[in-house]
Structure formats: structure tokens, C-alpha cells
Amino acid sequence: MSEDLKTLKDHYELAIIGCGPAGMAAALNAKIRKRDFILLGTEFCSPKLSKAPRIDNWLGFPQISGEELRQRFLEHLKEMEIKIVPFKVTNIYPGPPYTLLGKDESFEADAVVLATGVSVDKLFPGETELLGRGVGYCATCDGPLYKNKQVAFISYSQEGEDEANFMVDICAKVYYIPYYSDVLRLHPRIEVKKGKVKEIIGDSSVKQIVLEGEQIPVDGVFILRETLPAEQLVSGLEMEEGAIKVNHKLETSLPGLFAAGDCSGPPYQLFKAAGEGGTAALQAVKYLDNLK
């Protein structure tokens, strides 16, 4: 466990999920307003920005590369003593206060800013319908439920290998379906399947997973993406055309929950993400003040 996770508190005023331009801008305003907040992200913040060869519409910095601008953002946070905590949220229970669950830890926050970006991966047929009935996103959270049963992992990164290895001594059979190359450290008892997933089938619970040319009977399916779809992260969150529905204050359908950046819909522009992130934090501060 990292030093940052060792110092994770039980409760914060504000949790900001995502360390792209929207999340960083939200954290900056939360810091300026002297709020008790946490900024959650990944080891590499904003790969999308990093890959931009040139940015022409960031005011004051004509023709700057995406990576240079990304480094400037990170340096700004460092100067403001804002840490990015590598904590992957697997579920948020509505509040307030909201309960944010991770792989090994959980904590509460009075308000939340979602700045998760957009998932480029489409949901699998049957995923939404069977969520919580055999479909899950965290094996270490739900593993004991599948003792002596058969499960499948669909993983978009090598992080999934550790989760699958964890389940080997719990389950009767573990299948692994990688959506990336170079599988490196899987336990020899895990069976790797190379076909793409067509559908997850079940009625009251998961019964099988359908691959190209093959059907595998399973009791559970764990899907490990880099970014969870927002509607899967928070139960009851209202969506509109695939994006989180927000008003002009960036409030979602749930009180104390705000959304900013690409996850709130187009245009998918850097200036829009940063502006919304800063605004969402200010609106969250107002919300927190009204709680008092």
C-alpha cells in the first residue's frame, strides 16, 4: 500500500475523482477555498492530453504541446501542495455523505466531483442488466461470493492479472479474457481465452459468457477497465445521450454530486474540461457551506 493510502482519512468534505484537466482544476479551486478534499487519480494523469501533438486554443500558450501543458498542470499542483492519491473507485454509494469504495479501502465525502472522462469501451450486452447479479468490477471485493464457482475476467490492462490470480484459490475455475497484448504473470491454473466477448447471458444471475465461436458457463464475470462508466459507478445517476446529465451549476440528479469535463458530454475540449472542473468545485463549496 502506498504512503498516500496509508494516510487516507475516514471522511472528507469533498472528493474529486479523476486527475485530468477537469479534476486538477477542481482540486486547485478546492485548495484555494481551503476545503478538506482529496484528489483521486491514476499513476499517469491525462494520457489523452499527453498524446496531443499541439494545442492551439489554450489562452496564453499558443502552439504548446499536450505533454508540455500536462507537465505545467502537474507542476502547478505540486506548487500548491496538492497530492494525487492513486485510488481507483469501484463503487459510490449515494449520500450525503457519499461512501467511496476501492479495492481495499473506503471513505466518506459530503460532496463529490466526478471528473472521470469518458470510457472509450462500450458496455457488453448483458452487462448493465446483470450488474450486481454476477457482473462486478472488483474481484477482491466480491471474491468470497464465488467460492468453488466458475468466473471469467475481462481485462483491459495487466492490473487484471493480479485480480485473477487472487481468485485462483477461491474459485473452481478462472478464465481470463485479455483486451491487451503481453499477458505476463497469470497463475498457470488460469485459462486464457483470446476471443472477443459477444454477450453476457443470464436471468436472475450470470449463467454464461459468449465469445466468438464459444460459450463458457460461468457464475460471475469481472470487467476491469481503466475507467468505469459513470452510470455503473453511481446507482441512480441520470444520464443523457451517454453522458452524465448536469445543469448549468454542474449539479447531477443526486444532491452533492457534481460532474465536470468529458464525462458531462461534448464538446470534448480542454478549455471546457478545465472550466467546468473549476466551476464544479466552486459549486461544491457552496453546497458544503449550505450544509452547515
Kindly give, in sequence order, each residue whose CB lies less than 8 Å from that of residue 130, ignoring residues fewer than 6 positions away.
200, 202, 205, 206, 221
3-state SS class at 173: strand
Q: What is d(CA 89, CA 227) in angstroms, rounded to the nearest whole number?
A: 9
The average confidence (pLDDT) of the chain is 92
DSSP string, 229-267: -HHHHBTT--EETTEE---TT-B-SSTTEEE-GGGG-S-
Residue 146 gets which letter from DSSP?
Answer: G
Q: What is d(CA 186, CA 203) in angstroms, rounded to the nearest whole number?
A: 31
Task: Answer positive or negative: Cα dihedral of 25, 28, 33, 39.
Answer: positive
In this model, does residue 141 exceed pLDDT 80? no
In this model, does residue 4 exceed pLDDT 50? yes
Write out the residue limits of the CATH 3.50.50.60 domain(s) in the chain. Answer: 3-119+228-291, 135-224
Alpha helices by DSSP H, listed for 117-176, are: 139-142, 159-167
> Is 78 in contact with 19 (CB distance < 8 Å)?
no
Kindly give, in sequence order, each residue whose CB lies less than 8 Å from that of residue 72, ignoring residues fewer than 6 positions away.
none
In this model, does residue 1 exceed pLDDT 60? no
Written out in words, the top-level CATH class of the domain with range 3-119+228-291 is alpha beta
In this model, does residue 3 exceed pLDDT 60? no
Average pLDDT over residues 149-167: 93
> From residue 181, how far is each of 1, 155, 221, 226, 281 by CA, in Å?
27, 11, 20, 15, 38
Question: Which range is most confident: 12-21, 91-100, 135-144, 159-168?
Answer: 12-21
Buried-state track 30-65, b at ≥16 Cβ within 10 A, e below 16: bbebebebbbbbbeebbebbeebeebeebeeeeebb
Model pLDDT for residues 191-213, shown as the tens digit of each residue: 999 889 999 999 999 999 999 98
* Residues in a beta bridge with 39: 16, 84
Model pLDDT for residues 42-67, shown as the tens digit of each residue: 878 988 898 888 898 899 998 899 99
Say which CATH topology domain 135-224 has.
Answer: FAD/NAD(P)-binding domain (3.50.50)
- Tally the C-alpha atoms within 13 A of residue 181's C-alpha that lie toward its C-beta: 0
Residue of 267, 275, 231, 13 whose CA lies nearest to 116:
231
Residue of 39, 59, 58 whose CA lies nearest to 49:
58
> Is 164 in contact with 188 (CB distance < 8 Å)?
no
Model pLDDT for residues 243-272, shown as the tens digit of each residue: 999 999 999 999 999 999 999 999 989 999
Q: Which long-range contacts (CB under 8 A, 24 or more apart) does 178-185 make?
A: 179/121, 179/154, 179/155, 180/155, 180/156, 182/158, 183/158, 184/158, 185/158, 185/161
